[in-house]
Amino acid sequence: MPASSDVEECAVERRADRVSSLGAAAYARARVLGVVGCLALACAGREGGSEATGGAAALGGSGGATGSGASSGSAVTSAGGAESAGGTPSAGGVSTTSGGAPATTGGATAMTGGVSGAGGGAAPGGGGSRSSTGGVPARGGAATNGGRGAMSSGGAALGGGTATGGAPGMDGGASGAGGKNDASGCPRYDASHPPAMLALTGNLGTHDPALIAADGKYYLFQTGHDLPTKTSSDLAAWQGGSAVFSSNPSWIATAVPGATDLWAPDISSFGGSYHLYYAASTFGKNTSCIGHATRASLASGSWADHGSVLCSGSGDDFNAIDPNVIVDDAGTPWLAFGSFWSGIQIVELDATGAVGTHTPKFIASRPSSGGALEGAFIVRACGYYYLFTSWDHCCDSPWNYNIRVGRSTSVGGPYADKSGKALLDGGGTGLVAGNSTWTAPGHNAVVVTPNGAYNVYHALDASHANPTLRVAELAWDTDGWPVSAGP
């Protein structure tokens, strides 16, 4: 662990069955593992069954309405009563890929708006050191877009009316997200019904949620012991599920000595399978790997683990954690990853979900702030690729974790914020910052349904404790920039 006092140091005890208060020393960068970008849920505002571009099946209607197929990916019939996404893994072989990545260049720049970091920028150790005192550990990365299995590959969902307020149910019922989708499927901001927060119930203690819709449910994956899961039929009421693994895949002990709980799962669907990416790391170090498991169905069967797809080591200027998959307009999957150090990178995946011979490239960095950004989440919506990141201190004073965004016409960048500042030069337009009730909101993901969009993240309570799932309505303004409720 770097010796710098700027490193966000927090020790984590991860327990999947409960979330407890954070210690004053912090809980090392707890984050919500984001919900997959643009879930195409025809979750049915009243009609059920219509579906989003990019992908996937409509989930609307109670019990088994089949959604019409979208532009990439096949339609999937919804089914009630799906099982938990957990299951017994098969062990995969070690597949560690290391090697340095080029550091970003460009002058130091200041933050653009929003909350600023205090006490100087965090040193590269911050990227892997989050902790909670009792509770599921924090680690980020977010689920993404896929072609199959009730999830879109990015763009805003098409069709469907909206109603103000309410969660997007999968068995019908009103849904609203602060503005109706326009003819192109973009959820537009409506000043008469601005975005609001959903009222959530049930099992809400969550770090780094990643989510996908399938079989009439939302399946949520999160950081913790063996990767815990939850399910919901409407994004509002949540129930606990089985863990993904019964124990860590065997390759982790060799590739990342000392790694215990797994961080930042990301769930996507492409190539006829569900793909779960996750991180194995230890606090304050960048000896880390991103693992990969697949499964044919979330309703039955178990996860087959395939080892690591990407690793980093002490000699590298990046940290291989916080995975996030985005499927581009052409149907090609890309993996975004990184935390602190020199920033966030993206690399093309092959049809099996492996990195292969492709070379990562940097797409976001904070060269003047100790590299204090992480938790990339990319969504394709409203004519652009939007890159969301989380900045600053998630888990210690001044508790100023916050969510930023930039956009690009290409999945590989360059990304810029609303003022035109490049994300590689520290740009990022503020989206969500904390208040006196909910502090340190961060590690978001975006869900775009036929009835509107939602921003999903975690926040701490007024005592900077108890990381909790938050779901905010989200809409795009006339200039094409997202506006979120929150915190």
Question: What digits encode the pLDDT tens for the residues 245-271?
Answer: 999 999 999 999 999 999 988 999 999
Residue 451 pLDDT class (50, 70, 90 cuts): confident
Active site residue 208: yes
CATH number at residue 352: 2.115.10.20
Q: Is residue 189 part of a domain?
A: yes
Average pLDDT, the chain: 73
Q: Is residue 359 part of a domain?
A: yes
Q: Considering only 102-106, 351-355, 419-423, which range has the smallest mean pLDDT?
A: 102-106
The two most distant CA atoms of the chain are separated, in Å, by 58
Q: What is the pLDDT of residue 6?
A: 37
Total number of domains constituting the chain? 1
Q: Is residue 152 part of a domain?
A: yes
Q: Is residue 193 part of a domain?
A: yes
Residue 446 pLDDT class (50, 70, 90 cuts): confident
Pairing of strands 468-476, 452-460: antiparallel
Position 353 pLDDT exceeds 70: yes
Active site residue 17: no
Catalytic residue among 261, 316, 374, 417: 374
Tokens representing 237? Answer: 């009421």
Q: What is the pLDDT of residue 452?
A: 82
Q: What is the DSSP letter of 7?
A: S
Share of the chain above pLDDT 70, in %: 63
Residue 212 pLDDT class (50, 70, 90 cuts): confident
Catalytic residue among 208, 215, 226, 305: 208
Please check whether residue 286 is in contact with residue 314, taking contact to mean a CB–CB distance below 8 angstroms: yes
Look at the block and give the residue holding tokens 């990227």: 127
Structure confidence by residue, pLDDT tens digits, 377-429: 999 999 999 999 999 988 888 999 999 999 999 999 999 999 999 999 999 99
DSSP string of 392-460, one letter each residue? S-SSSTT---EEEEEEESSTT---B-TTS-BGGGT--EEEE---SSSEEEEEEEEEEETTEEEEEEEEE
Q: Is residue 31 part of a domain?
A: no
The DSSP H or E segment spanning 231 is strand 229-232
Position 357 pLDDT exceeds 50: yes
Q: 149-187: string of b/e by CB count within 10 Å (b at 16+)? A: bbbbbbbbbbbbbbbbebbbbbbbbbbbbbbbbeeebbb
Classify residue 397 as exposed, middle or buried by CB count within 10 Å of its CB (0-12, 13-18, 19+). Answer: exposed
Predicted TM-score (pTM) of the model is: 0.70
Q: What is the pLDDT of residue 168?
A: 64
Q: Is residue 80 part of a domain?
A: no
Q: What is the pLDDT of residue 20?
A: 34
Q: Is residue 23 part of a domain?
A: no
Structure confidence by residue, pLDDT tens digits, 268-314: 999 999 999 999 999 889 999 999 999 999 999 999 999 999 999 99
- Give the domain range for residue 217: 124-484
